[in-house]
């Protein structure tokens, strides 16, 4: 099963900013940096398993967000690239663990068999652990960024993956499975933690690396909060409206697992409207930054217009 490649819908572009070209260029930079970051060495099996999922494609939205906010704050791509790679490593490890039989039990991810289907559950767990640990090492070894900023980045990343972030969201998600009476509050908790926490870390860490003010960090954080929730609402919509081939993972899983989703609470139309309102609110946060925020404005639009 292979995901089709219409990644950057022209609908996501503003007339004056070529988002497709921007995303393609940034993706290529990230791919090259990831390629260099994880060479295969002894014991080869674990590096191969880590690289299998890390280099399997994906939109690379998280590293691209981190690079974009660093540039917005006056920093360079070089300053943010190690953290950008670390964010993709953390995201990939969360996908590997999410797909395990003990969690979502999925066979396909990013258009390929899941990690445990190829390497077995034991190696898949370790590949996730290896990527998570390596992410922090990569950030700590960043050159040309003041150490106190790197320390803040490491603290933010730690919090984003912890029980106060991804892990906590995943626990409530597991507890909620099969329950018909999940409230909007619980659904929001799951997604602000499972999906939102890491997206927020991407945006905020780029700002920290660039050394932006705490007021601007708060603006970036609010932007991220809004796009994070919009991203998840669209994810829920795509799960019921798009094929497995196009998604690169098993479609219709939410319905099958009787999971509460935004469309199941609000219906499709209202879910789309809510996502649009959140994207508009995210873009409003960027108005303060003027022209420099074009990429982040266009990425916010892309989130609601994406097709996989
Ligand atoms: C972090 C220590 C630690 C453990 C993981 C399994 C788990 C705890 C959390 C689950 C996190 C998870 C899988 C959230 C879903 C996030 C999401 C919407 C993923 C899809 O992101 P895309 O569409 O995927 O950006 P690509 O493949 O394009 O990168």
Domain positions in the chain: 16-305
43: preceding bond cis by omega (within 30 degrees): yes
Question: Span 16-305: which CATH code?
Answer: 1.10.600.10
Distance CA(253)–CA(144), nearest Å, equals: 44
Q: Are 74 and 210 in contact (CB under 8 A)?
A: yes
For the chain, how many helices (H) and strands (E)?
Answer: 16, 2
Residue ranges of E strands in the chain: 108-109, 112-113
- Distance between Cα 179 and ligand 1 center (Å): 22
List pLDDT tens digits, range 229-271.
999 999 999 998 888 887 888 888 877 777 889 998 999 999 9
Q: Which atom of ligand 1 is nearest to the CA of 92?
A: 29
Helix, strand, coil in percent for the chain, rounding step 5: 75, 0, 25
pLDDT below 70 — which residues of the chain?
A: 1-15
| pLDDT at residue 16, rounded to an integer | 77
Q: Please report the atom of ligand 1 found closest to the CA of residue 169.
A: 9
Atom 7 of ligand 1, residue of closest alpha carbon: 94
**CA 168 – CA 193 distance, rounded (Å):** 7
The pLDDT of residue 15 is 57
- State pTM to two decimals: 0.93
**Distance, CA 195 to ligand 1 centroid (Å)?**
7
Spatial distance between the Cα atoms of 29 and 250, rounded to a whole number of angstroms: 29
Distance 94 CA to ligand 1 centre (A): 5
- The reported pLDDT for the residue numbered 7 is 39
258 Cα: distance to centroid of ligand 1 (angstroms): 19
CB under 6 Å to ligand 1: residues?
58-59, 61, 91, 94-95, 97-98, 103, 110, 132, 161, 166-167, 170, 194-195, 235
pLDDT score at 253: 80
- How many Å apart are CA 98 and CA 272, to the nearest integer? 26
| 87 Cα to the center of ligand 1, angstroms | 11
| Distance, C-alpha 168 to centroid of its chain | 16
Q: The tokens 């007339």 sit on which residue? A: 15
The pLDDT of residue 104: 93
pLDDT of amino acid 3: 34
How far is residue 21's CA from residue 27's CA, in Å, rounded to a whole number? Answer: 10
| Widest Cα–Cα separation across the chain | 52
The pLDDT score that the predictor gives to residue 185 is: 96
């Amino acid at each position: 099963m292979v995901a089709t490649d219409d990644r950057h819908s022209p609908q996501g572009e503003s007339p004056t900013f070529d988002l497709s070209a921007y995303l393609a260029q940034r993706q290529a930079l990230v791919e090259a940096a990831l390629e260099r970051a994880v060479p295969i060495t002894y014991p080869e099996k674990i590096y191969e398993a880590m690289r299998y999922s890390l280099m399997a494609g994906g939109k690379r939205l998280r590293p691209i967000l981190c690079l974009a906010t660093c540039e917005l704050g006056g920093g360079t791509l070089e300053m943010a690239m190690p953290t950008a790679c670390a964010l993709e490593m953390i995201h990939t490890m969360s996908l590997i663990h999410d797909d395990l039989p003990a969690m979502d039990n999925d066979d396909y991810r990013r258009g390929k068999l899941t990690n445990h289907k190829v390497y077995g559950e034991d190696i898949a767990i370790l590949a996730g652990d290896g990527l998570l640990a390596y992410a922090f090492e990569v950030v700590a070894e960043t050159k040309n960024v003041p150490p106190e900023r790197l320390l803040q980045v490491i603290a933010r990343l730690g919090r984003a993956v912890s029980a106060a972030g991804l892990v906590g969201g995943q626990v409530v998600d597991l507890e909620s499975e099969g329950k018909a009476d999940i409230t909007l509050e619980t659904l929001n908790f799951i997604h602000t933690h499972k999906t939102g926490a890491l997206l927020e870390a991407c945006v905020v860490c780029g700002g920290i690396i660039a050394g932006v003010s705490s007021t601007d960090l708060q603006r970036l954080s609010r932007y991220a909060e809004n796009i994070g929730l919009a991203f998840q609402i669209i994810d829920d919509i795509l799960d019921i409206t798009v094929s497995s081939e196009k998604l690169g993972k098993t479609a219709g899983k939410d319905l099958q697992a009787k999971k509460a989703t935004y469309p199941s609470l609000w219906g499709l139309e209202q879910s789309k409207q809510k996502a649009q309102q959140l994207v508009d609110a995210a873009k409003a946060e960027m108005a303060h930054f003027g022209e420099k925020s074009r990429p982040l404005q266009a990425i916010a639009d892309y989130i609601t217009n994406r097709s996989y």
